[in-house]
Chain A
Amino acid sequence: MIRFILLQNRQGKTRLAKYYVPLEESEKHKVEYEVHRMVVNRDSKFTNFVEFRTHKVIYRRYAGLFFSLCVDITDNELAYLECIHLFVEILDHFFSNVCELDLVFNFHKVYLILDEFILAGELQETSKRAIIERMSELEKLD
């Protein structure tokens, strides 16, 4: 099960944070700070999985943004790496060559996409096409 998703830039600013487990505000800050510190210090040649408290963080860096996913110890790491990549592809398709600013100014849309993608900590949709279709439907409603 996914515990939280974080998108952070290299300076440590959080661009997106979605938690699937209940956490206090102060704890959330602490978590974001720790994850950022851990992820930013790792060399690009190292593995993409790190142990974090009693869970695992799977991360990948795309341009200036770190996409971090915190999952249970028993989960399949490679699958979640794929999951991160899928998410990035969808964002790219949706915003046409997405950049960090797009995410900043359209944060509600990013949350929408994320909600289509992951529900209650589990991956619910793995087809890029399906999500894109749904998003265009939702756009029409707006």
Chain B
Amino acid sequence: MASSNSLMDSLFQRSLEDLIKGLRLGESTFVSKSLDEIRREIKLTDPSTKSVALQKLSYLAALHGVDMAWAAFHAVEVVSSSRFAHKRIGYHAIAQSFSDQTPVLLLITNQLRKDLSSSNEHEVSLALECLARIGTDDLARDLTSEVFTLLGSSKALVRKKAIGVVLRVFDKYPDAVKVCFKRLVENLESSDPQILSAVVGVFCELTSKDPRSYLPLAPEFYKILVDSRNNWVLIKILKIFAKLASIEPRLAKKVADPVCEHMRKNNVGKSLLFECIRTVFSSLSDQETALKLAVAKIKEFLVDDDPNLKYLGLHALSIVAPKHLWAVLENKEAVVKAMSDEDPNVKLEALHLLMAMVNEDNVTEISRILMNYALKSDPLFCNEIIGSILVACSRNSYEIIVDFDWYLSLLGEMARVPHCQRGKEIEHQLVDIGTRVKDARLELVRVSRALLIDPALLGNQFLHHILSAAAWASGEYVEFSKSPYEIAEALLQPCTCLLPPSIRAIYIHSAFKVLVFSVGAYFSAQEPTSSLLAQESTSSGSSVVNGFTYDSISSLVSMIELGLCSLSGTIDVEVQERTKNVLGFIGMIKHEIAEKPTSQDSETEAHRAMAFMEDVFSEELGPVSSTAQEKVPLPKGLELTENLEDLQEICREVLEPVAESNSSSFHTSDKVSFSVAKLTIRDQEEASSSLPPPPESASLLAEHRKRHGLYYLSSQKSDNHNDGDGNDNNTSNEYPPANEISVDSFKPKKKISKPRPVVVKLDEGDDPKTKPDASSSNDEPLSRAIQTALMGKGKGKESVKDNHDINVDTENIGQSSRREKKKKKNGERSSKRSSRRRRDQEASVTKPVEVPDLLL
């Protein structure tokens, strides 16, 4: 600080140039030194010094991240100077640093108003720019009238900027529509191309937020589409029509012709051409000629050398792919070539297009090609490929897969790809297929065995999920495996210590299942006397001989015991508990494993325990839909009163509500969620669908309803429920036990070759319920205001065109009580129309927007 106190510095202010030069010299403390200087200078009264200081500060703030919010008040001071240069600096600083929270925002309202009404067009434009950048609700409201005047200004420059500002004003203060909208629309007919482009730009933004309100303006837009030669304007108009045509199909027909005209021109700019193509693909795809022309033009894009055009061509194709796959198929070679392009964007687009082309016949071929690509690519793209294959194949319950054996081996292959990071998804699919497709279980076990045996895979943390799925599958469907001993050995190999405890627990549990299966088979094979048992042993479910000799079973048991001994002291509770369970079980039955049957007494404790465990694991676990829990009906007689609520409060820590089951957990269907609050809400729904509740609970229900009526559905709906199961989407309120699903909902597909295995479908489909699009409630007042404005002028639109000149003259009418003036102008036009107009203005806002007859 001492060094800056020289006479030179205190007498002469550093100009901006000096500041910049100083910065470039690279003194590290220069910024803080200058900041101190600026703080001093800016408080002085001389306006020139102030403004230069402000300018320096703006520079520092813009490019060096210095905070300049503290100078807000000074900026206001500078702006009030009469010199244009100062004003400019001041407005620039304001536009840069003011935000909605700036406390001195109110102070500039008046200044803005003065400048907006100034006769100097440059001052006006400065103020407009500033308003555009920082406009808040208050500012917009206060300055609407000024903006309105400027919308009709004779100076094109000012008008243009005012139009640009209108967008922001509308956004912040929707009531401004009543005042300004008419002028805005009048500007649509302006002959000055600059004004036109500004207006069209504003409408483009407005339309993308809420297309329906601007439908009545379609004729004006159409005129511009046909007449204009300016590319920028045309591009914006096309965007507007894309939005409008998607909600109003009749427009599409009318607009298709001019669009085709534009596309056919010889030297049309690529940007315009692309916009035409994009419009056709997204909104006019039902128009034959337009579509064919667009597809022809897209071919040119795809073969161009310029990577930009190639990318855009692919992008456009992906827009049209869902509805018109033939367009994509025509360009198959270009797409495949693009897969090997260097640019990741291009590759990604090509990949998406390729996946769109996948169907039953070519899925194997395409997957093979893609896996080859994946092995050669960088990790990011490799995972993209794997991810998209997984998504495409699992869509709609594996719709396109005919050969599940091949698909399972593909999943196994994916696990071995070095960069694979999609472990969770693969795990999910493995388990999913296991539970849903009975015929594929043999292959699943084979694939799982291959994965489990390999010790190298255990080290890769991305694969842990896949391994856990493999372990689970091996345990659950152990009856299909050729050698349970091998499986158990793989599950307990020493390298499994690399696994996280949760997955280890799954491994141990699967080993348990293998043990139970093997010992059970051994015990039942030991008793050849009983014919029933003999039947059991032959139909033990596998196609391979389960030759369990004494040696093999005792070695299995001892191997498992050995493998688990070391784990009984682990820190992790889950692993330890399961280990101890298995070891305890082994201890119980070990001495019963003898060379020959000891006695006819098959009722030994061990046998009983064995039978018990077999039972546990014999019930097939079915897939559970994510919404299944909601459908569980309440058991009859379960009383839900306020008493229970108190109980919940008291015992909150003890009675944790059971989590809802999701599709990857394996509860049996009998569990009822204990969460009382949820039950009280569901109560009405379920109770009304089952038999009428007994009278005493009816009164309790009524009482409950009085207290919590807010959460109940309307009684009309419950009547519908009571009327019977007229449900249209085939979902009954009773959730059927898991075993019955496969009977109801299988889809046989007969093919010439091997028939497609049965895939069990869930009641409601697999995709999680998508939330409905949240409509933006902010735009509500704006849309309503615009609709009112358009309603009011709807009938008199022709007269608007005739009396455009009159309007221009009457702009000089004073600014107060605009509404009366507007009404008065309307009345001036024609007395015939005035009565109709008054009627229209009283018409309700919710009347559907009419498309003018010009277009029909």
B is bound to A: yes
Point out the residues of chain A lying under 8 angstroms from B441, CB to CB. none
Point out the residues of chain A lying under 8 angstroms from B55, CB to CB. 108
Q: Are B308 and A127 in contact (CB under 8 A)?
A: no
- CB nearest to A78 among chain B residues: B271
Q: How far is the CA of A15 from the CA of B69 in the complex (A)?
A: 21
Cβ distance B342 to chain A, nearest Cβ, rounded Å: 7
A112-141: which residues lie under 8 A (CB-CB) from chain B? 112, 115, 119-120, 122-127, 130, 134, 137-138, 141
Q: How far is the CA of A141 from the CA of B235 in the complex (A)?
A: 36
Q: Which of A1, A43, A78, A141 contacts B84 (CB 8 A)?
A: A141
Q: Are A115 and B129 in contact (CB under 8 A)?
A: yes
Give the total of B residues in contact with A, Cβ under 8 Å.
58
Contacts A107-B59, A115-B129, A130-B194: A25 and B67 contacting too (C-beta < 8 A)? Answer: yes
As a 0/1 sequence over residues 752 to 775 of chain B, the CB contacts with chain A under 8 angstroms (1 = contact) are: 000000000000000000000000
Point out the residues of chain B lying under 8 angstroms from A11, CB to CB. none
A53-95: which residues lie under 8 A (CB-CB) from chain B? 74, 76-79, 81-82
Q: Are A119 and B65 in contact (CB under 8 A)?
A: no
B132 at the A/B interface (Cβ < 8 Å)? yes
A4 at the A/B interface (Cβ < 8 Å)? no
As a 0/1 sequence over residues 598 to 609 of chain B, the CB contacts with chain A under 8 angstroms (1 = contact) are: 000000000000
Interface of A is mostly: mixed
Point out the residues of chain A lying under 8 angstroms from B270, CB to CB. 78
Q: Are A79 and B271 in contact (CB under 8 A)?
A: yes
Q: Are B311 and A49 in contact (CB under 8 A)?
A: yes
A50 at the A/B interface (Cβ < 8 Å)? yes
B89 at the A/B interface (Cβ < 8 Å)? yes
Give the total of A residues in contact with B, Cβ under 8 Å.
47
Q: Are B343 and A46 in contact (CB under 8 A)?
A: yes
Q: Are A15 and B63 in contact (CB under 8 A)?
A: yes
* Number of CB contacts from chain A to chain B under 8 A: 123
Q: How far is the CA of A78 from the CA of B168 in the complex (A)?
A: 26
Point out the residues of chain B lying under 8 angstroms from A15, CB to CB. 63
Residue among A29, A111, A124 with max Cβ neighbours from chain B (10 Å): A124
Point out the residues of chain A lying under 8 angstroms from B201, CB to CB. 122-124
Residue among A16, A43, A45 with max Cβ neighbours from chain B (10 Å): A45
Point out the residues of chain B lying under 8 angstroms from A13, CB to CB. 63
Cβ distance B360 to chain A, nearest Cβ, rounded Å: 32
B230 at the A/B interface (Cβ < 8 Å)? yes
B198 at the A/B interface (Cβ < 8 Å)? yes
Q: Which of B208, B232, B278, B346 contacts A47 (CB 8 A)?
A: B346
As a 0/1 sequence over residues 28 to 59 of chain A, the CB contacts with chain B under 8 angstroms (1 = contact) are: 11000000000000010111111100000000
Contacts A46-B345, A47-B307, A125-B160: A120 and B197 contacting too (C-beta < 8 A)? Answer: no
B559 at the A/B interface (Cβ < 8 Å)? no
14 more A-B contacts (CB under 8 A) besides A46-B344, A107-B59, A124-B164? A45-B307, A46-B346, A47-B345, A77-B308, A78-B274, A78-B308, A79-B271, A104-B24, A108-B89, A108-B92, A120-B132, A120-B168, A122-B205, A126-B194
Q: Please provide the 5 A-B residue pairs with the shortest distance between their CB atoms, ordered closest to farther.
A: A78-B271, A119-B164, A120-B132, A46-B343, A122-B201
Residues of A within 8 A of B (CB): 1, 13-17, 20, 22, 25, 28-29, 43, 45-51, 74, 76-79, 81-82, 104-105, 107-108, 111-112, 115, 119-120, 122-127, 130, 134, 137-138, 141-142
Give 9 A-B contacts (CB < 8 Å), ordered by A residue. A45-B343, A46-B345, A47-B307, A47-B345, A47-B346, A76-B235, A76-B239, A78-B312, A122-B205
